[in-house]
Amino acid sequence: MNCAACSQAIEKALLKVEGIRKVNVNLSTETAYVVYNQEIINEEKIKEIIRKTGYEVAEESKKITLQIGGMTCASCSQAIEKTLLKTTGVKKANVNLATEKATISYDPEKIKYKEIKNAIENVGYNVLEKDVELSFENGKSIELSKLADKRKKVILAWILTIPIIVWMIPEMLFSISFPNPLVFNLGLIFFSALVLFIPGWTTYKSATKAIRHGTANMDVLIMLGTLASFLTGPASLFTDLANYAGVGAMIMAFHLSGRYIEAKAKGRASQAIKRLLELEAKKATILKDGIEQEVPIDEVEKGDLMVIRPGDKIPTDGIIIEGISSIDESMATGESMPISKKPGDTVIGATINQRGFLKVQATKIGKETFLSQIIKLVEEAQGSKVPVQEFADRVTSYFVPIVLLLAIFAFILWTAFPNEMRNVTIWAVQFLPWVNPDLSTLSLAIFATVATLVIACPCALGLATPTVLMVGTGMGAENGVLIRQGEAIQTLKDAKVIVFDKTGTITKGKPDVTDVIPVDGLSKNDLLKIAASVEKGSEHPIAEAVISKAEEEKISLVEINDFESITGKGVKANIGSGDNIIVGNYKLLDESKIDYDKLKSKLTELEKDAKTPTLIAKNGEFIGIIAEADTIKDDSKKAIAEIEKMGLRTIMLTGDNRQTAEAIAKKVGISQVIAEVLPRKKVSEIQKLQKEFGIVAMVGDGINDAPALTQADIGIAIGTGTDVAIEAGDVVLVNGKLSEVVKAIKLSRATFRKIKQNLFWAFFYNSIMIPFAILGLAHPVIAEIAMATSSITVITNANLLRRSDIRPAFSKEVN
């Protein structure tokens, strides 16, 4: 709604409907209060009527993050996700296998946390933590204990499997069953049972739980494959069936090894958040009653005065009360050069004080701090999905049942057409040493069935996107680019046009003095002294720029009296021995009948350069001009040139007059200018560009430009200071430089490239290897090694994203 006509339209539409007794639509709060008869109409119908009238209903929604226990593969995460999405009141659910977390949006009026927890537990998984907030130490210790447990299982499995391998080699190579066939077969059965039912017990437990709850995961395939192999052992004592019990043990040992390596690789993929958590200061030195006290960071309160010495880590966000220093903010902004700070400047917690002694007042603590906001944004992004992932998710949800059917199909194929299938193995024996066409038909059928069960890999599909997203969003956070949603990566990669707001985006957003032009032999410093002394009484941004310039030049100001401010024109005052000074625009000097013709051509030139001239007169005589301009950011020109080189069209969208806008656009090299656009009209301009060009990204300050940023396919919000919680932006740039836009585009392209590579590999692997196994050409052990390798491959490829150079080309030259 944007006017009273909108609220009236909704009221009229609702009051026409039977069952609605009273309606009050409040435009200022954007809320509709409706009294209705529940027997005739319900809430959903009312929402539908509002939507048909052309407006949206912002439904109440809560978001929680849950740590899930018991997931072992992509089929597990899909089972939980499907269950949650079927649960009444749950609007959105994303279960991330890589982080082992579920991000759930739900209607608190329809469902409570306990019911969500029950829904997950009813599918056979555990909810470990609600709204997970582990300290770095706790998170690290939990992860290390999980890894240690997996490592123990792997070691035990191989201690028991190596004797099997040693025992099987003479039999495989020379057909010698040492010391005799009976002892050999019994020995394999004994050692295999130890491997399967001691270190492999957790796999069986997970599989049994999945079957009991009507789902199927990777562990079900492993259990069926290893048990089928193991049962051939006892059967071989009474039939001519080959003994594959040892193969079952080897499959389990390789499976556990793959899970361990996968867990380590996933740990590397998530190290960005770990690094951010590790950055947090553990202690702070605060001043209480003039005495320094060292306290844990959790005990620091807002308003506390912190003492920070050179080399110390700043404990939490604050404002400098005393001292001057250079601060290394690279952890927050990705900016390698230290930033000079003085009293009144804000500082970010966890950054490093390099030189001076500082006293800083704490302004933000706990969840409010810059670092906490970054960690929250990164975790939210990792809890989201890239649109291209949806197809992979659909495939994964049916994957295990399809593999089970294919395994049955393989068994039927071998038993129904034994001669034809055996001919394939006879042909393949010259290339594949493990193929043995001399085995019985039943042995070969079991061989193919087991290989089919264990070679398929839903995990590669399930991990293909989340792991890359983890690395990409983490890289972004380390480089001052915060990606709020995974979808933003795919959208930004496809953008055709980048629209820039002018003020505060291309320019610094505040005026600076650019020219000081005195007349009649007056020095520049004298002109500045006169103007700044009078402007001292004004609060106008231009006055601040003049005063700031005088301070920069170390000019001491004089006292003034009889100060007068004339709105929209300028100021007057008497200084020194009674000299009357006027500082203002043309109108003020024209009203005072002061002639400024001697610099008229200069004034025209300044305006063409998008500068604002301030005219100064003393005792009725024109004495000079001080020009101000919203100066262009240092990197704007180079960043826009690089964006154009990437094949993107750049457009400036601003409310400023066309002459000023075009002057700025010419300086920075922007292709097109849309000027004199009121804030409320910016949305319709974005819509026009979307129709003309397709996907449009907009870069703005996230506050004044919020509607236009939301309308754009992807909104890139310029962050300011320690505030990164800019709701309108899909991407937030921490340090407000346009070079960060270049980083964001490069990161989105590199990340999406890795996602495509991973998805291609996962689909290619499964489409090649499963037919290979059905034909009896894949040894079950080699099949399991291939399966584990495919998961590790997609995770390793995701970690290789860290090698991508996302810096702008011009920053590399500087470095």
Residues 6 or more apart in contact with residue 337 via CB below 8 angstroms: none
Question: What span, in angstroms and rounded, lies between the C-alpha atoms of 464 and 760?
Answer: 9
Amino acid (one-letter) located at 547: I
User: Greatest CA span in the chain, whole angstroms?
Assistant: 121
List, in sequence order, every residue forming a beta bridge with 359; answer none if it has no partner: 307, 322
Indicate if 501 belongs to the active site: yes
Question: What span, in angstroms and rounded, lies between the C-alpha atoms of 700 and 213?
Answer: 50
Helix, strand, coil: what percent of the chain each, to 5? 50, 20, 30
Catalytic residue, candidates 393, 501, 713, 730: 501
- Work out the burial of residue 771: count CB atoms within 10 Å of its CB; fewer than 13 is exposed, 13-18 middle, 19 or more buried: middle
Residue 651 in contact with residue 668, Cβ under 8 Å?
no
Residue 23 in contact with residue 14, Cβ under 8 Å?
yes
Which structure tokens are listed for 152? Answer: 């123990």
Helix, strand or coil for residue 455? helix
Which one, of 316, 368, 378, 372, lies nearest residue 346 by Cα? 316
Question: What span, in angstroms and rounded, lies between the C-alpha atoms of 415 and 433?
Answer: 23
Question: What span, in angstroms and rounded, lies between the C-alpha atoms of 810 and 139?
Answer: 39
Question: What span, in angstroms and rounded, lies between the C-alpha atoms of 541 and 560?
Answer: 20
Which one, of 184, 171, 161, lies nearest residue 233 by Cα? 184
Length reported for the chain: 815
Checking DSSP bridges between strand 101-106 and strand 731-733, what pairing results, if any? unpaired
List, in sequence order, every residue forming a beta bridge with 347; answer none if it has no partner: 318
CA angle, corner 95, sides to 90 and 97, nearest 5?
170
Residue given tokens 């407000």 in the structure block: 736
Amino acid (one-letter) located at 484: R
Which one, of 513, 531, 559, 512, lies nearest residue 622 by Cα? 531
Amino acid (one-letter) located at 763: F
CB atoms within 10 A of CB 436: 16
Sign of CA dihedral 754, 758, 764, 765: positive
Which one, of 575, 528, 531, 533, lies nearest residue 553 by Cα? 528
Roughly what angle, to the nearest 10 degrees, separates helices 245-269 and 780-799? 0
| CA 352 from centre of chain | 25
Residue 525 in contact with residue 646, Cβ under 8 Å?
no
- Sheet with strand 481-483: strands edge to edge: 481-483, 731-733, 714-718, 696-700, 497-500, 649-653, 672-674
List, in sequence order, every residue forming a beta bridge with 733; answer none if it has no partner: 481, 718
Helix, strand or coil for residue 185? helix
First to last CA, the chain: 49
Catalytically annotated residues: 501
